[in-house]
Chains A and B, each alone.
Chain A
Amino acid sequence: MFTPMLTRLGLYTPPSVRDRVRAGMHLHAVLGAIPHLVRLDEEAAATARQMGKVALEFRVFDGPRSVLAFDGGKATLSREGHGNVGLFFPSCDALNRMFDGEKVTPIPFRAFPLHLKALQLLPKLTDRLTTFLKPPAGMLDDRDFLAKHVELSLLVGMMATRDLVDYDPKVVRIAHDLPSGTVVFEVVGGPQAHVKIDHGVIEAGAGALPDPSTTVTIKTLDLALGLIQGTVDTFAANGSGDIRASGSLALVDEYFNLFDRVGLYLK
């Protein structure tokens, strides 16, 4: 609440739009993949079970926040609320640098000894997530691994679109034009994911939804990989039948534009 005044006095520089959007994506979309990682990967699930019942709060000065909660080997992420352990980052830039792999040490708060174990185990989970999101060479030859990589990457991309709508000025400007509805993405022989758009508010999740406004069927896992990596021309793929969209095409056309834009912020 003091930042506008400090900014006016020249004592503080607010985060750039790029840093703000990236920080939101890191805390909401990348961390948001951990519940799905725990669902998909036994090694991650075992780590989550070891963490017990704990809610980790991530807070960035003049930036986003999120709460990653574990209970009984399952995980959830929310954009609001409080945790019983907190990690504070002095700036969006500091958070982003940590997610980019630099050594950045956040400031713990509300860190009771009871929950220190959870904090110690967190890097194990994030390392595992990194393995799936940025797989080492050769890993994608394993079809089971590829399926998980596609699902997690798809979910990260879809969850990240919400931060575009919230903070990317170019998208904020057109958010009111986004049609409302639901889109289900299904990869033949692979995962399903969905996104709900309700008057510019986006929520993404795993699995299908009944009676979606639009269904996007992607013919193969490899094609889905190309879509995620931004190497597939969606219009060309649609015409050639590699991607089939049925239902509200205006909705998915707009959404693909957003999805493509995530790549400007997250690699």
Chain B
Amino acid sequence: MALYKFDKSNELFQRATAVIPSGISGNKNPAFAVPGSFPYYAVRGEGCRYWDPDGNEYIDYLAGYGPIVLGYNDPVVDAAADVQRKLGTAFNHPTPRAVELAEKLVGMIPLIDWCAFGKNGTDVTAYAVQTAREHTQRRKILKAHGAYHGSQSWCRHGLGGIIDTDFEHVHDFIWNDATSVEDYFKKYPGDVAGVIITPYHHPAFANQVMPKPGFLQDLRRICDKYEAALILDDVRAGFRLDIKGSHEYFDFKPDMTCYCKAMANGYAISAACGTNKYKPAASKVFFTGTYYTSAVEQAASLACLDELQKPETLTHMMAMGTMLQTGLKKAAEDRGLQVTISGPPTLPFMTFTNETNFRRSQLFGGEAAKRGVLLHPHHNWFIMRSHTPADIQKTLDVADDCFKLVKKEFGG
């Protein structure tokens, strides 16, 4: 088969570097994938496929880094959005869609009594953190080491315009180690406002780690003991494990939950939700943005959630994810390679067991992209409803070719 070339992607990127810092900002910068072997831009999508400026077609497992849960251009969601678009979107006020969507989420997700809408995951994790601080009148927030809760400076220990005070009151505990959480409550008595967690640990550049039995429940117990908020950042995994939210899948009870990626099949919307206990504090936090009340996305979300609520949707996605996971494992073993498959079936990821520097993953991912399958080497993947057994099989066929190349290059 003729391997893909990326000349037009490269041309666009060269133009971009003149007028956009880094050409492409953040995690979508080519530096985080396999530069030269990955597309840099997309032109159109359909179902589980998209096309780049060079006309290359991909079976996609990155799904726009998560928001495409049904498939690109889902006709039901797009039709609902179109209806609202014709009525108007960014008004002076919210539209009835805001109330309808809030009612839908409150009815759909056990535990929650209210929700507020933003545009991105970062908006709502920051809002939940502020709400926890307002409710408790405390400063400290605890997060798992390596966990990503958004691009705001409060949750990014690093350089690049971040100053010490941005994260002065944010502390990292060790995932799956409840003692390391409680130690902070003891170290800062009366000053820990809340704990923010993802339902399972899904850092970039690493295998995904499921919660140990009892870990999430221990966090609940600790937060109760010290009267702090337990915030579930379900931005990435929300509605991909259980339509009622990932806390139902893992059987624990957060005080607030944050959703985004799977809410509207690519339309920009996020939601912070919570229990009545936190509603007065949520009201006191000034939470707004020019587009937070935009109605098109809310209409799209209503339609998307309807589709996700169909029992067969998640069942199918789980089945496709399982087929991919087991198929990759077998194909790798058949070629004499060891891989680690991690994460739930709808958010799978694969690394090569005998390396920590991702060189095999980069060769594998780059070669797969050149053959029309997009499997990111450093970030977990996403299954969409539109993936079919034939797509998965084609993916496994390409993966087998790529495993062969990895074996040839690295020997094992």
Instruction: Please report A residues at the B interface, Cβ cutoff 8 Å.
Output: 169-171, 173-174, 177, 181, 212-214, 233-236, 238-241, 244-250, 253-254, 257-258, 260-261
Contacts and interface: CB of A to CB of B under 8 A. Distances in A.
Given A173-B157, A257-B158, A239 B356 contact: no
Contacts of B21: 233
Given A239-B35, A247-B357, A177 B30 contact: no
Given A170-B159, A174-B159, A239-B23, A244 B358 contact: no
Interface in B359-398: 359, 362, 378
Contacts of A261: 159
Secondary structure type dominating chain B contacts = loop
B95 interface: no
Nearest to A178: B158
Interface of B: 10, 13-14, 17, 21-24, 29-32, 35-36, 40, 157-160, 163-164, 204-205, 356-359, 362, 378
A235 B23 contact: yes
Contact of A213 (B10, B14, B22, B357): B357
A234 B23 CA distance: 10
A239 B17 contact: yes
Given A235-B29, A239-B17, A249 B378 contact: yes
B40 A239 contact: yes
A240 B31 CA distance: 9
7 contacts: A213-B357, A238-B31, A240-B23, A245-B31, A248-B356, A249-B205, A250-B378
Contacts of B205: 248-250
Given A235-B23, A245-B31, A248-B357, A173 B164 contact: yes
A239 B13 contact: yes
Contacts of B32: 249
B299 to A, nearest CB: 36
Nearest to B32: A249
Contacts of B160: 257
Contact of A240 (B10, B158, B163, B362): B10
B378 A246 contact: no
B13 A240 contact: yes
A238 B35 contact: yes
A241 B36 contact: yes
Contacts of A246: 359, 362
